[in-house]
Amino acid sequence: SQQGEEDPQALSIQEGENATMNCSYKTSINNLQWYRQNSGRGLVHLILIRSNEREKHSGRLRVTLDTSKKSSSLLITASRAADTASYFCATDAILTGGGNKLTFGTGTQLKVEL
């Protein structure tokens, strides 16, 4: 099964509203990352939060991490139609040679309507 599981699977909101997506995982992590994927395209890295961090901000994005509950949330504030995409969390394992091997969840499909 996937290391990361996102919730909800799909989310539809109005422009200007906030969108919250959650991710749960099973094993200890080094860091947790969030990615966005526009329809039929590659993934774009949004934000990385390390296991010793509890909250991180980047523009309209806010990520929290609770390692005791093995969960993370991504909040997008003041959403725009351009935020319509799939969002994935990814947990990592350190590779022998350096770098990180990511395990992705199945994603949350966000639709922001005008």
Partner 1 sequence: DVKVTQSSRYLVKRTGEKVFLECVQDMDHENMFWYRQDPGLGLRLIYFSYDVKMKEKGDIPEGYSVSREKKERFSLILESASTNQTSMYLCASSPRFRGEQYFGPGTRLTVT
30 near partner 1 (CB under 8 A): yes
Q: What are the angstrom distances between the C-alpha of 84 and each of 2, 11, 19, 32?
A: 23, 10, 11, 22
Q: How far apart are CA 25 and CA 67, in angstroms?
A: 9
Could you identify the residue written with the tokens 């949004």? Answer: 46
Interacting positions 78-97 with partner 1 (CB under 8 A): 88, 92, 95-97
13 near partner 1 (CB under 8 A): no
Among residues 4, 81, 85, the alpha carbon closest in space to that of 41 is found at: 85
- In one letter, which amino acid is 52? N
Could you identify the residue written with the tokens 């890295």? Answer: 45
Please, which residue, 78 or 94, has the CB nearer to partner 1? 94
Size of the site for partner 1 (CB under 8 A): 27
Q: Which of 33, 71, 79, 84 binds partner 1 (CB under 8 A)?
A: 33
110 near partner 1 (CB under 8 A): no
DSSP class of 82 = G
103 near partner 1 (CB under 8 A): yes
59 near partner 1 (CB under 8 A): no
Enumerate binding residues for partner 1 (CB under 8 A).
2, 30-31, 33, 35, 40-45, 48, 88, 92, 95-107
